[in-house]
Structure 1
Amino acid sequence: MRHVRHNNGLSLDELAKKTGFAKSYLSQIENLKREPSISALSQIAHVLGVDVLFLLSGETQNSGAQSLTIVKKGERKTVNRPSGSLAYIYDSVTYKKPDRLMEGYIVTIGFEFPPEPFVHEGQELTYVLEGTHEFVYDGKTYLLEEGDCYYFDSNKPHYGRAVGEKPGILLVVFTAKKDWV
């Protein structure tokens, strides 16, 4: 991230102002001392003019607008979190569309809560594909099962974990800040 920021001629202060994140938070991300949410990375990537996948892996995306993109099951891109945390494994299903307004992932969740709650701008839609999901939103706990769906403002603390015998598999779609679109 630091390399991309420097290539864009941005100081950490400028990136903080443009993203709305604290300078200290961004510094911790750059120094791999803090693991941001995928949506926070999406917001940072947007300001830096790159794709989340590029920010994490250096992998470039197709350029040019496309009306339709298809991602086959075997073509999903696993987005590795900076710390390598296995609490959540994200497989991007929207990475092929460069001008996208949403981020979509098939997320596999483990049996432990992440180290800290997620809080970011935008909204999320989550559909439980498999398993049972314990979801905590703004201090209240919900138990969600296969076929359940929830939609929420993501600026309040939220996190979850799988409960039962198997990991949870979710379809998660989120939007960025309203002024991005």
Structure 2
Amino acid sequence: MNLKDLSQKTGFTKSYLSQIENMKREPPISTLSKIAFVLNVDVAFLISGETQNTEAPKITVVRKGEGRANYGPFGEKGFLYESLGYKKFDRLMDAYIITIGPEFPPKAFFHEGQEFVYVLEGAQEFIYDGQTYFFEEGDCFFFDSDKPHYSRTVGKKQGKILMVFAVQKASAPGELLSLNKIEMEK
């Protein structure tokens, strides 16, 4: 698939996709998920280049310590994303254990879909559509992710969350149904 086709199917500009391809822009995980869906590959493949099993297993297991770790989409200090769903390439959602850094990312995220967050460790300050929320261990929250959102650890203990997000699935491989452009706030 060429950049023009990928651009039409994802809604991203050819210029933006070229910048990602040439490692001049670091996209958020949600952007990589959308690109991976259109290409019918796993997000982990886009990051690591490792090939995947093309048969869709009904169940996959990721044992403790087997998650694939990657730094935040902007390389921001203290953020680490551990993919828990990388073995199931036909999944309808993505799950991550995320270590939250002490500073907000440089830009807010917003994209089609919904997110569920469960605070595993520490406390976090979460900004959603301009409103501030504080969450502690054991708290959870669910939100529409089409509004600007971002978070950071507050307090002395490093923050860690379980984050599950889903975007609308297409009716056929490579076909998108009203998926808006996944972007970062300017």
Please state which band the TM-score falls in when normalised by the shorter chain. 0.7 to 0.9
SS in structure 2 opposite 1:73?
coil
TM-score scaled to structure 2, two decimals?
A: 0.84
TM-score scaled to structure 1, two decimals?
A: 0.87
1:93 maps to what in 2?
84
Provide the rounded CA distance (Å) in 1 between the counterparts of 2:14 and 2:44: 22
Code of the residue aligned with 1:40 in structure 2: it is T
Does the 8 Å contact 1:56/1:80 carry over to 2?
Answer: no
Residues 133 and 81 of structure 1: CA distance in aligned 2, closer, same or farther (over 3 Å): closer
Deviations 1:8-62 (A, max 9, x none): 2x22x32222112233332332232322111111001111221110101101233
Residues 127 and 30 of structure 1: CA distance in aligned 2, closer, same or farther (over 3 Å): same
Matched, 1:111 2:132: no
Provide the rounded CA distance (Å) in 1 between the counterparts of 2:161 and 2:15: 31
Once superposed, what is the RMSD of the aligned Cα atoms?
1.8
Residues 135 and 51 of structure 1: CA distance in aligned 2, closer, same or farther (over 3 Å): same
Show the 5 A alignment for 1:24-63. Answer: 24-63=15-54
Residues 157 and 84 of structure 1: CA distance in aligned 2, closer, same or farther (over 3 Å): same
Does the 8 Å contact 2:41/2:89 carry over to 1?
Answer: no
SS in structure 2 opposite 1:179?
coil
Unaligned runs of 5+ in 1: 1-7
Does the 8 Å contact 1:78/1:89 carry over to 2?
Answer: yes
Deviation at 1:86, TM superposition (A): 3.3
Matched, 1:78 2:69: yes
Bigger drift between 66-75 and 77-86 goes to 77-86
Does the 8 Å contact 2:71/2:79 carry over to 1?
Answer: no
Work out which structure has the larger RCO, using CA pairs closer than 8 Å and 6 or more positions apart in sequence. 2
Deviation at 1:76, TM superposition (A): 1.0
SS in structure 1 opposite 2:110?
coil
Provide the rounded CA distance (Å) in 2 between the counterparts of 1:180 and 1:95: 21
Unaligned runs of 5+ in 2: 173-186
Matched, 1:175 2:166: yes
Bigger drift between 24-33 and 39-48 goes to 24-33
Code of the residue aligned with 2:57 in structure 1: it is Q
Deviation at 1:83, TM superposition (A): 5.1
The answer to which structure has the higher helix fraction is: 1
Provide the rounded CA distance (Å) in 1 between the counterparts of 2:41 and 2:54: 11
